[in-house]
A and B are shown apart, each in its own frame.
Chain A
Amino acid sequence: MRRPADTAPLPDRAKMAAVAGAPLERLRACPHCDALHVLPDLGPRERASCSRCHALLVAPRSRALSRIIALALTALILMAAAVMMPFLDLTEAGMHSRASVMDAVMAFSRGAMAPLSIAVGALIVVIPALRLALVLYVLAPMLGGGAPWPRAGQAFRLANALKPWSMAEIFMIGVAVALVKVAGLASVTPGPAFWAFCGLVLVTVLHDNVMDNESIWQAIETREKAARGEGDGKTDPLAAPPRGVRA
């Protein structure tokens, strides 16, 4: 792996030897180009990228699980608020029309287009919420240094796989375009759900930014092993620092 600027690339032979001598647990392959790397020890502000394709591989941004959990929880609460409260209010010549997020989901529910309603509901509400819930399922039990719940690895893999299909932020751009389109027709007032949804998008971005997949994977692996009585727990990047030492 390449640390930005400060370390010169290893000569080929040395790299070969380093890779060959390392235990399997310390090796990682770039998911984009299959290049093998030995996991480096990184500080909290350092990042490592692939020496071949330059894809970002490890970026231990925050080791505080509590921060990720708090952000995921906040986003889930905002999602609940966004679904339940009024979203937009349209006024034209004394006539009122209101739409909630659920109304937008149900926009296609009549006739042959019904499956699209299910898809829209999944893309803007169900999948974003499920992703956050899965992250909470994986991380919350590990908060106090505890072992993960069963199938935490599968849950975290699913959470990552759902990321491209979680389209809350794309929905908000769609809302902005729609608002411009009706601007000439009537006046629109955003309701509390509109602001909740904006907040949800911001918090989700923050959440994705503080999360480092590699350290979470390592924590799951190490603690599952420790729970089975194997391993020494030394490779747990999310372990609580020793007493008296501030993280």
Chain B
Amino acid sequence: MTVTARQAGLVACTRCGRVWPADVHTCARCGAPLSSRDPGALQRVWAWWIAGLVVYIPANVYPMLITRTLNYSSEATILGGVIELLSHGDVLVALVVFVASILIPVGKFIAIGFLALSVEKRRWMSEHGQHRLHAVVEFIGRWSMIDVFVVAILASLVRFDAVATINPGIAAVSFALSVAFTMLAAQSFDPRTIWDD
């Protein structure tokens, strides 16, 4: 059995770890607002989760990259880009893009949704399992931004006026928003509630 700050009648700062009497509202060491358990956390998680899911749909439907050369013009979605890389035999890079742009975002929606539900329902997974899942989601979520940077580099680099140009598609915006929103969803989650009885 462990003693938590809350059981000891204290409130802990999640930003710097310092512990204060329960009636203190601001951490004197780092200035962060203190709350033993954030009552609005779960609501914010769901709000960011839904916002992220809503913008993730157009991110997959609309083009990410628009390529124009002398004799043809093509538009590629996220999945289209992966398939194109595969068709050129760049398996490793195709895998990187697939993991960053499809596997991680989808896995993240499932994982955050699961964590938010299991805090209410309990016993779906051990506390250590949930803790590890949250740590992985927090660590890995930001890496989804890779594809946005790929588009930025290609669009700024491939500018041979009439001969060949690459332009960013609108999906880049909704995909970047989706990554940011799911990062905020994961950050809003209060991992201390995993361990509460």
Residues of A within 8 A of B (CB): 12, 15-16, 19-20, 24, 27-36, 51-53, 55, 57, 88, 90, 92, 95, 97, 99, 103-108, 112-113, 115-116, 119-120, 123-124, 151, 153-154, 156-157, 160-161, 164-165, 167, 170-171, 173-178, 180-182, 184-186, 188, 213-214, 217, 220-221
Please tell me if the beta carbons of A99 and B156 are within 8 angstroms of each other in the complex: yes
Q: Mark interface residues in B132-157 (1 if CB within 8 Å of A CB, else 0).
A: 00010010011101111111111111
Q: A15-B3, A53-B195, A174-B146 are in contact. Are A104 and B138 (CB under 8 A)?
A: no
Please tell me if the beta carbons of A170 and B15 are within 8 angstroms of each other in the complex: no
Please tell me if the beta carbons of A107 and B168 are within 8 angstroms of each other in the complex: yes
Query: CA A34 – CA B97 in complex, angstroms?
Result: 37
Given contacts A106-B156, A167-B149, A182-B158, 19 further A-B contacts (CB under 8 A): A20-B8, A24-B21, A27-B19, A28-B17, A28-B18, A32-B191, A35-B195, A36-B2, A52-B2, A107-B156, A124-B149, A164-B138, A170-B146, A171-B149, A175-B149, A181-B85, A181-B93, A181-B154, A221-B29
Contact residues in A for B168 (Cβ distance below 8 Å): 107-108, 113, 116
Q: A112-B170, A170-B142, A220-B29 are in contact. Are A33 and B16 (CB under 8 A)?
A: no
Please tell me if the beta carbons of B12 and A34 are within 8 angstroms of each other in the complex: yes
Please tell me if the beta carbons of B143 and A170 are within 8 angstroms of each other in the complex: yes
Contact residues in B for A116 (Cβ distance below 8 Å): 148, 168, 172-173, 176
Please tell me if the beta carbons of B3 and A35 are within 8 angstroms of each other in the complex: yes
Q: Which residues of chain B from 76 to 101 have any CB-CB distance to chain A below 8 Å in the complex?
A: 85, 88, 90, 93, 96-97
Please tell me if the beta carbons of A177 and B96 are within 8 angstroms of each other in the complex: yes
Q: Which of B4, B128, B153 contacts A175 (CB 8 A)?
A: B153
Q: Which of A107, A167, A170, A184 contacts B151 (CB 8 A)?
A: A107
Q: Mark interface residues in B179-192 (1 if CB within 8 Å of A CB, else 0).
A: 01001000100011
Q: List 12 A-B contacts (CB under 8 A).
A: A28-B17, A52-B195, A53-B195, A99-B153, A107-B156, A154-B31, A170-B143, A170-B145, A170-B149, A175-B149, A180-B85, A182-B158
Contact residues in A for B31 (Cβ distance below 8 Å): 151, 153-154, 157
Please tell me if the beta carbons of A185 and B15 are within 8 angstroms of each other in the complex: no
Closest to A25 in B: B18
Please tell me if the beta carbons of B153 and A88 are within 8 angstroms of each other in the complex: yes
Please tell me if the beta carbons of B150 and A181 are within 8 angstroms of each other in the complex: yes
Nearest CB on A from B64, distance (A): 12
**Which 9 A-B pairs rank lowest in CB-CB distance, beginning with the nearest?**
A174-B149, A29-B12, A178-B153, A103-B156, A29-B5, A107-B155, A34-B4, A157-B30, A99-B156
Does any Cβ of A come within 8 Å of B106's Cβ? no
Q: Which of A27, A36, A113, A182 contacts B172 (CB 8 A)?
A: A113
Q: Which of B14, B20, B30, B145 contacts A167 (CB 8 A)?
A: B145
Does any Cβ of A come within 8 Å of B194's Cβ? yes
Closest to A32 in B: B191
Query: CA A116 – CA B180 in complex, angstroms?
Result: 12
Q: Which of B3, B128, B154 contacts A182 (CB 8 A)?
A: B154
Nearest CB on B from A122, distance (A): 11
Closest to A167 in B: B145
Closest to A171 in B: B149
Q: Which residues of chain B from 1 to 53 have any CB-CB distance to chain A below 8 Å in the complex?
A: 1-6, 8, 10, 12-21, 29-32
Q: A28-B17, A185-B164, A217-B30 are in contact. Are A178 and B142 (CB under 8 A)?
A: no
Please tell me if the beta carbons of A113 and B142 are within 8 angstroms of each other in the complex: no
Nearest CB on B from A116, distance (A): 5
Please tell me if the beta carbons of A31 and B172 are within 8 angstroms of each other in the complex: no
